Amino acid sequence: MPALPLMRVGVWLIVLGLFVTPLALVVALAAGGNQIPVLLDQGLGTAVWNSTYTTLLSALGATVVGTAIALLLDRTNARGTTVLRLFLLSPLLIPPFIGAIAWLQLFGPNQGLNRFFGTEIWNIYGADGVTFLLVLHSYPIVYVIVAAGLRSIPSDLEQAARISGAGTSTVLRTVTLPLLRPALLSAFTLTAVANLADFGIPALLGSPARFETLATMIYRFMESGTVANPLQTVSTIGVVLLFLGIASVTADHLVSRWAGSKLQDTGQALRFDLGAARWPVTIVAWVLGLAVTLGPIMGLAYRALLPAPGVPFTMDTITLDNFRRSIANPRVVEGFSNSVTLALSAAVICGVLGWIIGLLVTRTRFLGNTALTLTVLLPTALPGLIIGVGWLILGRYTGTYNTMWVILGAYVCAFTALVLQAVRAPLQGTPLAVEEAARISGAGRLWALLSTTGAMAIPAAFSGAVLVAVTAVRELTVSILLIAPGTTTLGVQVFNLQQAGNYNQASALSLMFAVVGIVALALTVRSPKVRS
């Protein structure tokens, strides 16, 4: 068999084993018995309703906020946008559950600002807190998608409207926003799916107020033993979420194909003059940027510097003990070393797998390429808990349950998409002629592919792999159902410290998470290579 088809068969076997099997097991288990009555009895109706409206509201909010910020930063003459961008995008660098822990310190009942003012300004527990945090942690994704959409609008189209008599706001309304429609749709879909799947935020901010979503319901069934057959029960929820995920991945695929075909990239973009509103808008944006960046950090620092809950914050009482103790905590140390090992291994495997799949689906014409792409992208649209459940079942069958292998497998399944997304665009943009030049110079098909287009995509695959490592090292949702004594991860340890009421150590760890994330962003921004 020639080399290229052999590689294709190998890739398909890996994808079937790591992606399709665990998800198929979830479906198979759910099909094995009717758990709907049990679920309804356990409050499925409320959970579905809660999930639906927080998801839709937060996705809508994130789309509006993210689009406004994209227009503000990239298309107006507001001042100081380079630094402002870092502040406004900082929630992207903090895992959502860490963000929830941080805002909890500011707006929890009788905490932070509520305590400071002596009266309850806002109680973050409940639907409003969950929605707020979901918006906060998804608008940066909207920004990234919409900013790319804005860059792809040829500036001629807007200038043609100007010269036809349209003022800046009319240009925005009649030309810019209509042309952004595919990007807005895609941003809304992606954030809606991500928010539906989020576990950390509703677990930390919803559960204490008895506000349950589908994700926290799955966790409750798995952890508390309130139902007789938890795996089958959660698989039933999983199937519903799986079909929602498939629908959204397919929709996004169609939208991006439709949108990508006609608009070409251009140089310099039109900037809208804010006129008299320039300074007010700049000030509001800066206040917002500082609030979303410094707010959580200050909340965490406040909590982390106190020795115990309830102690007043004075120069005499503050201490670094929580940092010292959390770093020395043997379970934290174990979680840290496990997370680093898992993240690095996942980065290498995902990097290579994503790179090869990217080459196959963009540079060869073959039946099943679309199916391969969608299968690999599907986990991005699924709650991490469902991937966890799938691997839990798979682990039981293969005897890998209670080992690191099952977590690593779940990570590869969950995160290969990040590499595929990173390599797809540069691969699609590489002209076919570079491979044809290698073929005419005597290279075989596979070698022509690997040595030209493949080699050119290595930097993108590397960026994707770095993203996998950064995501996996602070991940909570995929591993929370898969950990066993000796195989816990860092994210789960922080979550458990918070749930166990050790707020001070949890905050100290969260603060370290947040600061490391923000420093990482500052470094990436300084080296433009990684950014592109």
Partner 1 sequence: MSSIDIHDLTVTFPDGTTGLADVDLQVHPEEFIALIGASGSGKTTLLRTIAGFIAPSKGHVAIDGRDVTDVPPEKRRMGMVFQQHAVWPHMSVAANVEYPLKRGGVDKRERGQRVERALELVGMGGFARRRPESLSGGQRQRVALARAIVADPTVLLLDEALSALDEPLRDSLRRELVSLTRREGLTTVHVTHDRAEALSIADRIVVLGEGRIQQIAAPAELVSRPATAEVAAFIADATLLDAASLPVEPSEIIGSGETLTLAVLPHMVEVLPPGEDGIPAQVRSVLYDAGDWSLTLDALDTVFRATVRGTRPEVGDPVTMRVTGPLGYRS
Partner residues linked to 272 by β-bridges: 76
| Stretch of 39-47, 158-166, 386-394, 502-510 contacting partner 1, by CB under 8 A | 158-166
Q: Which residue type does 504 have?
A: N
Q: In a 10 Å sphere around its CB, with 0-12 CB exposed, 13-18 middle and 19+ buried, how is residue 500 labelled?
A: exposed
Element at 400 (helix H, strand E)? none
**165 counts as binding partner 1 under rule CB under 8 A:** yes
Tell me the number of residues near partner 1 by CB under 8 A.
22
Q: In a 10 Å sphere around its CB, with 0-12 CB exposed, 13-18 middle and 19+ buried, how is residue 469 labelled?
A: buried
**174 counts as binding partner 1 under rule CB under 8 A:** yes
| Stretch of 95-103, 154-162, 209-217, 449-457 contacting partner 1, by CB under 8 A | 154-162
Residue of 110, 170, 226, 428 that binds partner 1 (CB under 8 A): 170
| Stretch of 109-117, 149-157, 209-217, 430-438 contacting partner 1, by CB under 8 A | 149-157
- Contacts of residue 187, defined as CB under 8 A and 6 or more positions apart, other chains included, come to 62, 63, 66, 67, 141, 142, 145, 146
* Beta carbon nearer to partner 1, 162 or 278: 162
Maximum distance among all alpha carbons in the chain? Answer: 78
Q: How far is the CB of 160 from partner 1 (least distance, A)?
A: 4
User: Quick one: angle between helices 384-398 and 404-429, nearest 10?
Assistant: 130
Q: How far is the CB of 156 from partner 1 (least distance, A)?
A: 4
Cα-based angle 165, 167, 173 (whole degrees, multiple of 5)? 110
| Stretch of 32-40, 133-141, 167-175, 353-361 contacting partner 1, by CB under 8 A | 167-175
Residue of 9, 45, 156, 291 that binds partner 1 (CB under 8 A): 156
**163 counts as binding partner 1 under rule CB under 8 A:** yes
* Beta carbon nearer to partner 1, 174 or 496: 174
Query: Which one, of 96, 63, 78, 100, lies nearest residue 499 by Cα?
Result: 100
Distance CA 447, CA 299 (A): 54
Site for partner 1 in 228-287 (CB under 8 A): 262-264, 266
Residue of 40, 121, 160, 523 that binds partner 1 (CB under 8 A): 160
3-class SS string, 297-308? HHHHHHHHCCCC
**166 counts as binding partner 1 under rule CB under 8 A:** yes
Site for partner 1 in 175-194 (CB under 8 A): 175, 178-179, 181
Residue of 34, 164, 370, 499 that binds partner 1 (CB under 8 A): 164
The CB density around residue 353, as the number of other CB atoms within 10 Å, is 20
Residue of 162, 278, 325, 396 that binds partner 1 (CB under 8 A): 162
* Beta carbon nearer to partner 1, 79 or 325: 79
Distance CA 463, CA 458 (A): 9
The CB density around residue 364, as the number of other CB atoms within 10 Å, is 14
Which residues make up the interface to partner 1 (CB under 8 A)? 154, 156-157, 159-167, 170, 174-175, 178-179, 181, 262-264, 266
